[in-house]
Amino acid sequence: MAHAYQTDQYEGMIAETVSMRGHNGDTINAYVARPLGSGPFPGMVVIHHAPGWDEWYRECTRKFAHHGFVSISPNLYFRDGHGTPEDVGAKVRAAGGAPDTRVLGDLEGANSLLRSLPYVSRKIGVFGTCSGGRQAFLAGCKLKGFDAVIECWGGRVVMSKEELTPSQPVAPIEYTKDLSAPILGLFGNEDKSPTPEQVNQHEAELKKHSKQYEFHRYDGAGHGFFYYDRAAYRQEQAMDGWKKLFAFTDRTLR
């Protein structure tokens, strides 16, 4: 989605990797992008997807900055070693993903860092796609301090007993009653994880607990339809999704 800026306006951005405190006080790295100026700007914690802390997520973090957010994408795989995003992501894939407890600790650390910055307003959102969508929902339920949740095709929010592991011991849907912020959900109707039926269950649970939610489901799209670098990209649905996303953050974080 194009930002509605004027061609004669000043614009600037800083984007860089930083160190931050994550789960258990561990030092991890993160990518931060912010507009120049004193703000105050709303914050956005950007949760990278399962394939890794990759270029798409660098660009996504800068996109939020372009739209006026101080955005931070913590490297949730920092403790799994360093190398190319694909190699590190493959290692985490083999391990069955990052542990929920550790991820939540890292997201809480990212939230705290944003709140410590003088140019960040008191409003902070959390955004994630794929496993990051699941983790964004988890963060909205288990952590305090998020004012908006954006869950894009979060797989395994609904989990069977057989899918539970020591790293992911509880299906996030079980925490729905604890959700403390409005949530926007974007899903593709051809997705296999989450399936439309699982999205139905997710929505029914939100409704049951009278949560403020807004779900948009797209025909002709499957999993990851924002990813322009993958075959899953669907231009029309992606552009509409971004439009709805920024309309949602205008209402919840401005």
Partner 1 sequence: MCTMIAQQVKILGRGKSGPEWFDVREANVSYDHPYDLPLEHALNIDFVNEAMGPGARVAVELSVDAARQLVRTIQAVLAEADQRGVLEDCPVVAVPARESSTA
Site residues, partner 1 (CB under 8 A): 50-51, 80-84, 86-91, 93-97, 130-131, 155-156, 163, 165, 168, 191-193, 222-224, 230-232
Residue placing its CB nearer to partner 1 in the complex, 163 or 250: 163
Angle at 18 between CA 13 and CA 22, to 5 degrees: 130
> In the bound complex, what is the minimum distance in angstroms from residue 88's beta carbon to partner 1?
5
Name which of 66 and 93 has its Cβ closer to partner 1.
93
Could you tell me the smallest distance in angstroms from the CB atom of residue 109 to partner 1?
A: 23
Start-to-end CA span in the chain (Å): 18
- Cβ nearer to partner 1, comparing 46 with 232: 232
Q: How far is the CB of 159 from partner 1 (least distance, A)?
A: 9
Residue (70 or 138) nearer to partner 1, CB: 138
Closest CA to 152 of 136, 131, 129, 134: 129
Q: 99: cis peptide before it, omega within 30°? A: no
Rounded Cα–Cα distance for residues 80 and 232 (Å): 27
Nearer to partner 1, 177 or 192 (CB): 192
In whole angstroms, the minimum distance from the beta carbon of 42 to partner 1 comes to 28
Paired strand residues for 133: none
Alpha carbon distances (Å) from 104 to 67, 136, 222, 241: 25, 9, 27, 26
Nearer to partner 1, 89 or 185 (CB): 89
CB of 44 to partner 1, least distance (A): 22
User: Cβ 143 to partner 1, closest distance in Å?
Assistant: 22
